Amino acid sequence: MLNKNQEPVGTPNLKSDAHCAYCSVAACCHDSKDKLPAFCPMDNSPSIYEKALAEVTSPQYKDFYIESARIEHDGYGNWPRVRETIELIKRMGYTKVGLAFCRGLSKEAEAFAQICQDNDIQLVSAMCKTGGVDKCQVGVTEEEKLHPDHFEPMCNPVAQAMILNEAQTEFNVILGLCVGHDSLFCKYSEALCTTLVVKDRATGHNPAVALYLKDGYFKSKLDLQNK
């Protein structure tokens, strides 16, 4: 919620923190920099953009960024994300790609592997349960398991990343890793990553539904203050 001065109500550090989620001006989209709200990083942290531009146009990332933008132009609103992912891999000329997937989406992983094979893309894949380490070994109690008093292997995103690093993959695709586990995978992956599927069993892997229905069906499920 914004007040009349285009400032988020009840949020601290309005002059130093970015609050783009509250902005109704979107001056960055309309080249109207004379209308920046008080919390806009374009006004408060201008040096960030020089540094970011230098990174994006560096020899390491320039081609990757440009091809990503070209794919947006070519397939926006038309190609499914699977096609966009394959296009990026092909256009970048990657010869070895990694797939880190959740066991619960094994069929989807197999389908993606087949699509890669059909497009002459070498794929190395690592499933989340690799290693077969019981959750108790990392501090999860029996009561906190999905099935107490049974062997229950931990998700192992760091090992997944290390397996793909060892294979020297040039680009990694994430398919259905758990919230947090995907964070660790990205942290330890030496290659750039993209997410193909976000796992959300409550919505048929469509997490945006909870945002659209935050004041309706999902209202009580999102109210953590009164749980």
Coil, strand or helix at 127:
strand
Whole-angstrom distance, CA of residue 176 vs CA of residue 179 = 9
pLDDT of res. 34 = 82
Burial label, 2 (beta-carbon count in 10 A; 0-12, 13-18, 19+)? middle
> Of 3-7, 46-50, 73-77, which range is least confident?
3-7
- The whole-number pLDDT of residue 4 equals 47
Q: What is the pLDDT of residues 193-227, one digit of tens each?
A: 999 999 999 999 999 999 999 999 989 888 888 76
Q: Does residue 191 have a pLDDT over 70?
A: yes
pLDDT, position 121: 97
Angle separating helix axes 62-75 and 81-92, nearest 10 degrees: 140
pLDDT tens digits along 50-78: 999 999 999 999 999 999 999 999 999 99
pTM exceeds 0.85, yes or no: yes
- Residue 171's closest CA among 185, 191, 200? 191
Residue 151 scores a pLDDT above 70: yes
120 — phi, psi (to 5°)?
A: 55, 40
